[in-house]
Amino acid sequence: MIELALKYIPRPWLIRLSMVMRVIGPIIYSGNNFTDPIDGRSYRKFLPYGYSGRIRNNAMSPGTNSLERHRLLYLYLKISTKFFTKKLKVLHIAPEQCFYYRFKQLNNLEVISGDIESPLADIHFDLHQIPLKENTFDVIFCNHVLEHVNNDITCLNELYRVMKPGGWGIFQVPFVRGTKKTIEDPSITDPAERERRFLQYDHVRLYGEDYPERLESIGFRVETVILGRTLPEKDVKRFGIPKNEPLFVCHKD
């Protein structure tokens, strides 16, 4: 059911439908086995989630619709940054529901969200050409977007351009450990072949362990943080976060 919905329901409608789950989910799945650090609520289970037969159990929080990577990022922001207290101008590309409303409500943040089609976005644009001034943002989030775009280097250059000197951003992508070099082939347009080669029907590349070098080639200084290895095992399990997933924090010096 989850896999079919993700594959065949258009993204804007998935976003609208998930808003309903945010209301009823905490009631249906109330319990004490897992805790979502984003809203502080506890659940007897998280929901399954995934594509192409790779369904992950206890992946999506019923109350915020957050996935493992979202909860990992939130914990990093809370533990390792001043994101929730410092005055910051933020650009949020492809805004995730679990963050969107909370970030907008924080008095210390001035948030602009952008996307090519999301109903949550303040402005709509193609990431290859961001219609915003250079050196504007203290923080930029652009997570699980670059695997979808035609030219990720062009998009990364745009993100670098609009980031202030001294700013930082997190641009997470799915990648497979053991894959040394990013795989991409723009001639592949068949959804089934893309799924086979790049793990998802709407992906155009599969990132490898060279992703930090790709970021550095733009001019970013990359800090690799593996937060799951620094937390107690019980917290990794309780929050439902990946123990070994790196966060690549990109600094514009």
Domains in the chain (CATH in brackets) are 2-60 (no CATH), 68-251 (3.40.50.150)
The answer, yes or no, to whether residue 94 has pLDDT greater than 90, is yes
As a whole number, mean pLDDT of residues 33-58 equals 90
Q: How far is CA 226 from CA 62, 102, 229, 244, in A?
A: 25, 24, 6, 6
| Residue 244 token pair | 């070994």
Q: What is residue 95's predicted lDDT score, i.e. its pLDDT?
A: 96
Q: What is residue 4's predicted lDDT score, i.e. its pLDDT?
A: 46
Q: Among 3-17, 50-64, 125-139, 152-166, whose mean pLDDT is lowest?
A: 3-17
**pLDDT tens-place string over residues 182-202:** 999 888 999 999 989 998 889
Q: What is residue 79's predicted lDDT score, i.e. its pLDDT?
A: 97
The answer, yes or no, to whether residue 246 has pLDDT greater than 60, is yes
Distance CA 142, CA 121 (A): 13
HEC sequence for the chain: CHHHHHHHCCHHHHHHHHHHHHHHHHHHCEEEEEECCCCCCEECCCEEECCCCCCEEEEECCCCCCCHHHHHHHHHHHHHCCCCCCCEEEEEECCCHHHHHHHHHCCCEEEEEEECCCCCCCEECCCCCCCCCCCCEEEEEECCCCCCCCCHHHHHHHHHHHEEEEEEEECCCCECCCCCCCEECCCCCCHHHHHHHHCCCCCCEEECCCHHHHHHHHCCEEEEECHHHCCCHHHHHHHCCCCCCCEEEEECC
| More confident position, 53 or 201 | 201
As a whole number, mean pLDDT of residues 89-115 equals 96
As a whole number, mean pLDDT of residues 130-151 equals 97
The answer, yes or no, to whether residue 13 has pLDDT greater than 80, is no
Percent pLDDT > 70 in the chain is: 89
The residues that bridge with 192 in the sheet, in sequence order, are: none
The conformational region for residue 182 under phi > 0 = left, psi -120 to 50 = alpha, else beta, is: beta
Local confidence band at 54 (pLDDT 50, 70, 90 cut-offs): confident
Percent pLDDT > 90 in the chain is: 75
Distance CA 79, CA 72 (A): 11
Local confidence band at 78 (pLDDT 50, 70, 90 cut-offs): very high
As a whole number, mean pLDDT of residues 28-35 equals 90
Contact of 150 with 128, CB cutoff 8 Å: yes
Distance CA 35, CA 163 (A): 33
Local confidence band at 225 (pLDDT 50, 70, 90 cut-offs): very high
The answer, yes or no, to whether residue 22 has pLDDT greater than 70, is no
Local confidence band at 30 (pLDDT 50, 70, 90 cut-offs): confident
Q: How far is CA 48 from CA 3, 83, 208, 213, 246, in A?
A: 10, 30, 26, 33, 22
The answer, yes or no, to whether residue 21 has pLDDT greater than 80, is no
Local confidence band at 19 (pLDDT 50, 70, 90 cut-offs): low
Contact of 172 with 99, CB cutoff 8 Å: no
| More confident position, 149 or 10 | 149
Mean pLDDT over the full length of the chain: 91
